[in-house]
Amino acid sequence: IDIYRSARLATVYITSTAVRRDFFFQPVASQSLGSGFLINDAGFILTNHHVISGSSRIQVTLSDQTQYYARLLDSDRSDDLALIKINPKKKVEFLRLGDSDHLQVGQKVLAIGNPFGLEGTLTVGVVSSIGRKIDSESDQQLEGMIQTDAAINGGNSGGPLLDSNGSVIGINTAILGRTNIGIGFALPVRSEEHTSE
């Protein structure tokens, strides 16, 4: 409960708007929904690449319903990862990044996000497996994924997967099929020491 109370404040709701052409080549705006989380008090937010891909406008809603437009700082399609930024006008809560290198199957995990637009939803489960390979929405193969039975659905993408200390050990990314069947996947978060090797 305590982890949820603090982590929910740092988890955001992302609406990305993209303009595409219809059959008659007329511009049509389409929206995709997802999640993200603040990683510092300067307004830096981690999410999935597929949440903001092709967007002309990214809107971020904080837990108190304050809304900001975000700008894209960097995006990695191959790892389905993106970094965006807002300019907060007040103090914001943020999450600390953990290390997935020492995860064990059976370990308890918590997922927070906005499935189907239902903001601030908490689901709980365990690490079902580690080191999985899956195909992403952009037909890239994602390696080293964390498999969990914590319910993950559309709109959860980009949200944090937390350990029982409240540290982010993964970024909720994908499910098998159109709805949750107890098989969800998260991008692993690794320590700076591991990533610098």
Catalytic residue among 136, 149, 157, 163: 157
Catalytic residue among 32, 49, 50, 75: 50
Residue 170, CB-side half-sphere exposure with 13 Å CA sphere: 35
Catalytic residue among 35, 55, 80, 100: 80
Cα(182)–Cα(185) distance, integer angstroms = 10
- Class of residue 86 by CB neighbours under 10 A (exposed 0-12, middle 13-18, buried 19+): buried
The answer to whether residue 135 is catalytic is no
Backbone angles phi, psi at 194, to 5 degrees: -70, -40
Per the listing, tokens 């709805």 go with: 179
In angstroms, how far apart are the furthest CA atoms of the chain?
53
Cα(69)–Cα(172) distance, integer angstroms = 22
Q: C-alpha 105: how far from its chain's center?
A: 21
The answer to whether residue 194 is catalytic is no
The answer to whether residue 50 is catalytic is yes
Residue 40, CB-side half-sphere exposure with 13 Å CA sphere: 6
Cα(71)–Cα(73) distance, integer angstroms = 6
Active site residues: 50, 80, 157
